[in-house]
Amino acid sequence: MSDSAPNPPLKGVTVIETALETMPANPGVYRMLDAKGDALYVGKARSLKKRVVSYTLIARLPERLRRMVSETVAMEIITTHTEAEALLLEANLIKRLKPRFNIVLRDDKSYPWLMLTEDHPYPQIAKHRGARARKGSYWGPFASAWAVNQTVTAMQRVFLLRSCADTVFSNRSRPCLLHQIKRCSAPCVGRISEAEYGTLVAQAKSFLAGKSGVVQQELAAEMERAAEALEFERAAAVRDRIRGLTHVQGNDVINPASLEDADVIAAWQSAGQTCVQVFFVRGGRNNGNRAFYPTHARAEETPEVLGAFIAQFYDDKPPPPVLLLSHAIAEQDLVAEALSLKASRKVEILVPQRGEKHAVVEHAHTNAREALERKLAESAGQAKLLDAVAQLFALPTPPQRIEVYDNSHIMGTNAYGVMVVAGPEGFVKAGYRKFSIRGPITPGDDFAMMREVLQRRFTRALKDQAEGAPPGDWPDIVLIDGGAGQLSATRGVLDDLGVTDVKLIAIAKGPDRDAGREWFHTDGMEAFQLPPRDPVLYFLQRLRDEAHRFAITTHRAGRSKAIRQSELDEIDGIGAARKRALLNHFGSARGVKMAGLGDLEAAPGISRETARRVYSHFHPGVRMGEKAAS
pLDDT surpassing 80 at residue 282: yes
List the domains of the chain with CATH numbers. Answer: 13-97 (3.40.1440.10), 113-249 (no CATH), 262-373 (3.30.420.10), 402-562 (3.30.420.340), 567-629 (1.10.150.20)
Q: Among the residues of 53-183, which ranges form H helices? A: 63-71, 83-97, 145-159, 166-170, 177-180
Euclidean distance between CA atoms 157 and 153, whole angstroms: 6
**Res 31: pLDDT:** 95
Angle at 191 between CA 185 and CA 192, to 5 degrees: 70
pLDDT band at residue 413 under the 50/70/90 scheme: low
The string of pLDDT tens digits covering residues 204-262 is 888 787 776 677 777 777 777 777 777 676 677 767 666 666 655 544 444 555 678 89
To the nearest 10°, the Cα dihedral for 37, 43, 49, 50? Answer: -140
What digits encode the pLDDT tens for the residues 127-156? 888 878 889 889 888 888 888 888 888 778
What is the model's pLDDT at position 517?
79
User: What per-residue confidence (pLDDT) applies to 558?
Assistant: 67
71, 102 contact by CB (below 8 A) = no
3-state secondary structure of 478: strand
Long-range contacts of 46-49 (CB under 8 A, 24+ apart): 46/83, 46/86, 48/23, 48/24, 48/77, 48/79, 49/20, 49/23, 49/24, 49/25
Backbone angles phi, psi at 132, to 5 degrees: -90, 70
pTM above 0.95?
A: no
d(CA 483, CA 506): 6
* Mean pLDDT, range 169-193, rounded to an integer: 88
Residue 630 confidence (pLDDT) above 50: no
DSSP 30-45: EEEE-TTS-EEEEEEE
115 forms bridges with which residues in the sheet? 126, 138
Phi, psi of 434 (to 5 degrees): -115, 140
Whether residue 470 is predicted with pLDDT greater than 80 in this model: the reply is: no
Q: How far apart are CA 166 and CA 21, in angstroms?
A: 63
Task: Say if residue 592's pLDDT is above 50.
Answer: yes
* Helix, strand, coil percent content, the chain, rounded in steps of 5: 50, 20, 35
pLDDT at 629: 38
| Distance separating alpha carbons of residues 372 and 357, to the nearest angstrom | 23
Measure the CA–CA gap between 378 and 429, rounded to whole angstroms.
16
Give pLDDT tens digits for 596-629: 888 888 888 888 888 888 888 777 766 555 444 3
Q: Which residues pair with residue 521 across a beta bridge?
A: 506
Question: What integer is the mean pLDDT of 310-332?
Answer: 93
Interval 489-537: pLDDT, tens: 899 999 988 888 899 999 988 655 556 678 999 998 999 999 888 889 9
Q: How far apart are CA 111 and CA 135, in angstroms?
A: 19
Q: Which amino acid is at 5?
A: A
The proportion of the chain whose per-residue pLDDT surpasses 90, expressed as a percent, equals 38
Q: Assess contact for 476 and 401: CB atoms under 8 A.
A: yes
Contact in structure between 520 and 526 (CB atoms under 8 Å): no
Res. 118: pLDDT tops 50: yes
- Cα(160)–Cα(201) distance, rounded to whole angstroms? 9
CA atoms within 13 A on the CB side of 253: 14
Categorize the per-residue pLDDT at 324 as very low, low, confident or very high, splitting at 50, 70 and 90.
Answer: very high
Beta-bridge partners for 278: 265, 290
